[in-house]
Amino acid sequence: MNLAGKVAIIAGGASGLGRRTAEFFVQSRNAKVVVFDLDDRAASELRDTLGERSLACLHVDLSDERQVAQGVADAVARFGAVHVSVNCAAVPGPMRIVDRELKASNCRRFADTIAVNLIGAFNLMAHAAAQMARNEPGEDLERGVVINVASGAAFEGQSGQSAYAASKAGVVGLSLPAARELSRYGIRVNSIAPGLFDTPMARSVGADALDALTAVVQFPNRPGDPQEFARLCAHICENAYFNGACIRLDGAARLPPR
């Protein structure tokens, strides 16, 4: 898919990996972008940077299906179609299964994490795909591309990451069955499992934890540049043979137990 003139919804697009992807799609690929995010201030700053002709920002909670449905409808009303969906929105949801007093943890945090990271991914994919299926087919009869963001934790979840790891493993598990089901409409579905990237979320863990995470990155031995993530998103869109896959983008890092 040639991204020039195409319309992409980027959830979590006001900061971190989503923001850099929104910037890259607009500035390097001449696409139109609709950001779904709950941080209105950051979204407004991004809109000031990229301009209202190329970017729209909507306050959308992915765990609320009605908000997602309305957001997709508003994106179509603003730019006329939806061709690409990139879901970068997530919450970390750290929790213990059994607390320090040997009591079973309340499952509320687990459920809340699943609601945003996994159910939210399904909500956006489903409503975006319903619009993509209405697009005029392009080369290879393609109508749309879905990219969901997983994590290395989907494969090597650390202690205290049960909710986050389970939600991201679910995102990985969505890729192939969704790609198979949506192929009849010319829609491709892939996921990316990023490792450590230089984002506000990564920096929030503190210097010591960040150093420990960087130490397991094999090569290059550094956090990823969000530009590298954005370029991969663009390449997935532009390479029609990417389908039903989960791509690890992590410098060969593998998370230790703690």
Catalogue all structural domains in the chain, each as residue range(s) with its CATH number: 7-196+226-247 (3.40.50.720)
Question: Tokens 């010319």 sit at which residue?
Answer: 186
Instruction: Please state, in angstroms and as integers, the Cα–Cα distance from residue 195 to each residue in 151, 153, 172, 203, 221, following that order.
Output: 6, 8, 14, 13, 12
Which pLDDT does position 23 carry in this prediction? 98
Task: Tell me the per-residue pLDDT of 206-233, one tens digit each, with 9 for 90 and over.
Answer: 788 788 889 999 999 999 999 999 999 9
Which pLDDT does position 82 carry in this prediction? 98
Phi, psi of 62 (to 5 degrees): -65, -25
Residue type, 175: S
185 is catalytic: no
Task: Tell me the per-residue pLDDT of 99-134, one tens digit each, with 9 for 90 and over.
Answer: 888 999 888 999 999 999 999 999 999 999 999 999
Which pLDDT does position 257 carry in this prediction? 87
Asked if residues 124 and 87 have their Cβ atoms less than 8 Å apart, the reply is yes
User: What is the value of pTM for the model shown?
Assistant: 0.94
Please tell me which residue in 25, 110, 122, 164 is annotated as part of the active site: 164
Alpha helices in the chain (DSSP H): 16-29, 40-50, 65-79, 108-114, 120-132, 153-156, 162-182, 200-203, 207-215, 226-238
